[in-house]
Chains A and B, each alone.
Chain A
Amino acid sequence: MRFSVTVRVALLALALALISNLALAGFVWQSTHADAIETLGRETIERSDALVAVYRAGGLGALDATTEARRVGDDSLIAAVFDADGRRIAGFGPARLGAPHPIAFALGDLGIERGWDAREAGYSVRPVGARWLLSGRLLDNWREAQHGIERALALSLLLSVGLGLAGGLVLARYVSRRLDLIAGAVDAVAGGDLARRVAVVAGGHDAFDRLGGQLNTMLDKVERLMTELRVMTDSLAHDLRSPLARLRTKAENAALQTDPAPRDAALASLLAETDIVMRMLATLLEISRSEAMSRDRFTTLDPAALIEEIAELYAPVLEDAGIDFAVQAAPAPGAAVHRELLSQAIANLLDNAIKHGSGGEIALRLASEPAAIRIEVADRGRGIALADQATALRRFGRLDAARSEPGAGLGLALVEAVSRLHGGRLELGDNAPGLVARIVLPI
């Protein structure tokens, strides 16, 4: 059988209250009881000593007088002298004492006589000459006081059960109310209300607030990812729409041409347009693949050689475009990289530099740091303002200045994905003037 959380929390609180109160009551009872007996014993012995001294000094008469005087203030006191056979000679006490023998202190009934055998007392028996001196205290009142304490303790236990039950219910209600708030927010988000958050008390630092706060952070991330996904899908649809529209126009145009020469030209530009769409999709696929790729595709190679190969591929392009191309490949230790993807990333950076570099010099640099290698492509173009960097890195992100130029806005997104695949990052910086894009790879 399983109870609801509320009931279980309440029961737990109750059990804890009961256990702690039982322990407390037990301790109180134990210590009052033991203390009382100890005090009683000490008093009895002291009194007995005093009475022995009185008897020795003044005989039976003095003892009687002392006993009488004391009993006026406290009628529970006993003091009596018995002969060797146990018959009372003087004082207050039972008439007979069965087989007297020395007792330092004892708790129990006093002898065999009716009326005394049921009365408990703390007493001591001392020999004085041939006689015996009994002194002590009847415990009728003391017992009552003890019972009073026990009753009070029992009552407090009963009270603690009640209070524990009530406290448990309050606690359980509190816990379930706080949890319901959190669960409600999670349910709402699961139900599609992505903007719902757990209400967190301002400045609240208890465990529920922390849980709520952490949950909110997670929900923020979920919402951001969902938004990104939607924006991504929307822009994919949107960005495919324009090349497809151009494709359609060109197809119609080609269909209308009757002369072979213009028709061939129209068909050629139709094919070129198709290639643009295909390249866009291929890049997109490469990006999403590189975000979930195992490192077994990596090979260890000399980064300088990789840089020189890609520089060799691009050098004539830049030379033909009249752009100064400075390549500096400092010796770097061998690194495990995905050769093709890293080359493609560098090629993308070079393409960007050619497109947006305004014809100024372009530098491709490899530098080695203690724990990383840096691959930099720097141009002398407009650069990217700090505020625009996030847009530039996003898939399909195109800065306004570049919107009129052909391109899908995937170049830097791929470079960043490749950097991340290598456990590194892509940094954009100011080349004063121009852009410096830096792939930092840990080694």
Chain B
Amino acid sequence: MSRKILIVEDDAATASYLAKGLGEAGYSVETCRDGRDGLFLASEGIFDLIIADRMLPGLDGLAMLGAIRAAGIATPALVLSALGTVDDRVDGLRAGADDYLTKPFSFAELSARVEALLRRTDRSSSETQRARLSVGDLEIDLLGRTVTRAGRNIPLGTREFSILEYLARHAGQVVTRTMMLEKIWNYHFDPGSNVVDVHIGRLRRKIEDGFATPLLHTVRGAGYRLAVEA
């Protein structure tokens, strides 16, 4: 059964772009134009994810989200907004959004975040407390904070370990640079240099050098993916 996504967006061009892209990615999508309809549809509780514009006619996105949360519906929500400063994002997250994306955005960024949000819901219902993560022959011991590949111990720094843990928790999914900056470093700005790439490069050397198959793949125009197959 495909995942159901509700898009609440008053701009027709953005809405159809999202609906088309997400539809092609295999989601079943429903769209509506304003906050009141959005609230009405979301109240049914049948959606796996809500993507809402922050500024909507009728009822604005954050107010709608507040009403949905007040009704006891915990469907994850991604807020889209043209308001892109650090404080706007923080406000959005405080208002009950699970993630916040500034317009304009790349579809790769959106789809990576959608996938991450959907995966998080699954994880919280099935695999809450895990002591180990594994991707192929890579084993991560979350309690002992050790990493082995094919039985060989790989020493990692604290930050390298948290990056690897984050990638492993999203194994098989695309993780973007901004997602990593937000989740691992808790920075909501965009450092000019390719800082994330450098950190990934070092981690990659440690977990791939001396092994036959690559694990940490670069997804061009989007980010990175930790997976056995390319």
Contacts and interface: CB of A to CB of B under 8 A. Distances in A.
Given A297-B87, A316-B201, A316-B202, 6 more contacts: A279-B192, A313-B195, A320-B201, A340-B187, A340-B188, A347-B191
B124 interface: no
A293 B90 CA distance: 14
Contacts of A130: none
A112 interface: no
Interface in A335-377: 340-341, 343-344, 347-348, 350-351, 354
Interface in B159-202: 159, 185, 187-195, 198-199, 201-202
A194 B191 CA distance: 41
A354 B85 CA distance: 25
B106 A289 contact: no
A301 to B, nearest CB: 12
Contacts of B102: 282
Interface residues of A, number: 28
Interface in B199-230: 199, 201-202, 220-221
B190 A282 contact: yes
B143 interface: no
A344 B220 contact: no
Contacts of B199: 313, 316
B84 A268 contact: no
B193 A317 contact: yes
A49 interface: no
Contacts of A344: 86, 187, 189, 191
B104 interface: yes
Contacts of A314: 191, 193, 195
Nearest to A279: B190
Interface size band for B: 20 to 34
Q: Which of B85, B188, B202 has the most chain A CB within a 10 Å cutoff?
A: B85
A252 interface: no
A311 B86 CA distance: 20
Nearest to B202: A316
Contact of B86 (A312, A340, A354, A411): A340
B221 A268 contact: yes
Given A268-B220, A316-B202, A317-B198, A286 B86 contact: yes
Contacts of A313: 185, 187, 191, 195, 199
Contacts of A316: 195, 198-199, 201-202
18 contacts: A279-B192, A282-B85, A286-B86, A286-B189, A289-B85, A309-B185, A313-B187, A313-B191, A313-B199, A314-B191, A317-B195, A317-B198, A320-B201, A343-B189, A344-B86, A344-B187, A351-B191, A351-B192
Nearest to B203: A316
B188 A351 contact: no
Interface of B: 84-87, 90, 102, 104, 106, 159, 185, 187-195, 198-199, 201-202, 220-221
Contacts of A343: 187, 189
A351 B193 contact: yes
A314 B199 CA distance: 9
A312 B157 CA distance: 11
A36 interface: no
A351 B85 CA distance: 20
A317 B159 CA distance: 14
A285 interface: yes
Nearest to A352: B192
A354 B192 CA distance: 11
A173 B187 CA distance: 67
B49 to A, nearest CB: 25
B87 A293 contact: yes
A278 B87 contact: no
Contacts of A282: 84-85, 102, 190
Given A316-B198, A320-B201, A289 B193 contact: no
Contacts of B84: 282, 285
A289 B189 CA distance: 14
A309 B85 CA distance: 21
Nearest to B106: A271
Nearest to B194: A317
B87 A289 contact: yes
Contact of B189 (A340, A354, A411): A340
Interface string A196-226: 0000000000000000000000000000000
A376 B10 CA distance: 47
Nearest to B190: A279
A289 B84 CA distance: 11
Contacts of A285: 84-85
Interface string A291-324: 0010001000000000001001110110010000
B193 A271 contact: no
A347 B87 CA distance: 18
A437 to B, nearest CB: 15
A286 B85 contact: yes
Contact of A347 (B86, B192, B194): B192
Interface in A269-286: 271, 274, 278-279, 282, 285-286
A279 B185 CA distance: 19
A297 B192 CA distance: 23
Q: Which of B106, B190, B192, B201 has the most chain A CB within a 10 Å cutoff?
A: B192
Contacts of A354: 193
B192 A348 contact: yes
Nearest to A320: B198
A344 B192 CA distance: 10
Contacts of B191: 313-314, 344, 347, 351
B19 to A, nearest CB: 21
A279 B84 CA distance: 10
A185 B187 CA distance: 51
A411 B87 CA distance: 19
A344 B102 CA distance: 18
A347 B198 contact: no
Nearest to A268: B221
Nearest to B89: A340
B101 to A, nearest CB: 13
Contact of A271 (B185, B189, B221): B221
Nearest to B105: A278
